[in-house]
Amino acid sequence: MFTPFISMNRTLTTAVRCKRRVVVTGMGLVCPLGIGVQNAWQALIDSKSGVIKLTEPDYEKLPCKVGAVIPKGDGSNELNLKNYFTNSELRTMCPATAYALIATEEALNDAKWKPTEEIDKQDTGVAVGIGMIDLVDVCTTYEALKKGYNKVSPYFVPRILPNMAAGQISIKYGFRGPNHSVSTACATGAHAIGDAFRFIRGGETSVMVCGGAEACISPLAIAAFCRLRALSTCRNDFPHEASRPFDKDRDGFVMGEGAAILVLEELNHALERKANIYAEVLGYGLSGDAAHLTAPSEDGTGAILAMDRAVKDAGIDTGEISFISAHATSTPLGDAIEIKAIESFMGQHSRDVTVSSTKGAHGHLLGAAGNLEAIFTILASKEGIIPPTLNLHDLDMETNLSFAPNVKKNWITTTSRRVALKNAFGFGGTNACLCLAQYNE
């Protein structure tokens, strides 16, 4: 006899919780375009590229000899891990986790959120994923085993577990909220943000540190993706031209590395402490292609479903969307299908939408792609600038959509705020879409 009452109560609670608004109050990153959000953003809108030629001897025999690596060194826009961690600390973590910790420190400082009170730590969670484990770690450890059991590091397992970036962040800062990790190939970073958004909106926590990290550029990884015919192989001597989303001469993606971390916060929580607000997360959509291990569904159904669910979750009309940050990795098949899906989804509003893929500048960061590009989308919404798609010279698709080839463009909208979608798709047919918007009080 009590079932109807319980059902009604839960429905009302859900309705109240769903009104909780979620905003972005902090961001941090390390990526091929530089160290720190402002350095990378400035390089991006200045049409610079982080793709270089891989000159180590082991790459000589491979079809692809380019990659988008984090600039290493002691310069102002370079990274030396030993400036951040002791040798003992570095033995406990893979490079991706180290990148995530560095980006997290920047994001928390940016958000001015390093709580000391236990109640605040319990109300702060972490959702950070890694797309692929470090294959170099696996190979090196296997070779060590051949020399003897005691040569295997006791930290080997923690170094290769995809949830260890989230774990290390939680441990370092004492965050006792949801401790969550996502590993959904190239959709990892976007899924992590979306899941964190739902944790806050659903009332489980007030603050989430979220994003993804990747550090898997190695001869074995390059060789494996080459065997899939996924990487660019035609511009080894012109690395800056290798990643060319939507361009007629694209021939595959360029592998990248890095980490990008966002601090998401319940709006009232952010307002009460007078936090700086970059943007608002409006919605999140997920889908599966149910088609192929590595190729997207040819009709774009999976992408359409993810975008549709994100927009419905946001409670907005498609006419409010004026920018779509595409997943577009620079593969012949994937880019064309995504454009077809976007135009099919946007319909009559397609003429009012600009599409861009920043992977032309920083390559494809795999598990850290969706989150890095989400940061760029957030900055675009805040500053009214659409970042360029580098190396887009000859669009080979018939479409009503607009683009931003090679140089930035002003984000013009006829609505009251700038609203964007951020797409991210992964092997196995997993898709994510975030709806992000300029923050209006």
Query: Where in the sequence numbering do the catalytic residues fall?
Result: 186, 327, 364
Sign of CA dihedral 32, 411, 342, 181: positive
In whole angstroms, give the CA distance from residue 22 to residue 154.
40
**250 closest CA partner among 52, 390, 100:** 390
Give the Cβ contact number of residue 416 at 10 Å.
9
Contacts of 169 (CB under 8 A, 6+ apart): 100, 101, 104, 126, 128, 175, 209
**421 closest CA partner among 441, 401, 406:** 401
Sign of CA dihedral 287, 293, 297, 300: positive
- Does residue 67 come out as left (phi exceeding 0), alpha (psi in the -120 to 50 range) or beta? beta
**37 closest CA partner among 365, 375, 313, 356:** 375
Q: Six-digit token pair at 132?
A: 């692929």
**380 closest CA partner among 360, 402, 409, 401:** 409
Helices (H) and strands (E) counted in the chain, each on its own, are: 15, 16
Asked if 417 contacts 316 with a C-beta cutoff of 8 angstroms, the reply is no
In whole angstroms, give the CA distance from residue 277 to residue 254.
33
In whole angstroms, give the CA distance from residue 187 to residue 196.
14
Cβ burial, residue 314 (10 Å; 0-12/13-18/19+)? buried
In whole angstroms, give the CA distance from residue 98 to residue 114.
19
In whole angstroms, give the CA distance from residue 64 to residue 226.
7
DSSP annotation of 366 = G
Asked if 44 contacts 286 with a C-beta cutoff of 8 angstroms, the reply is no
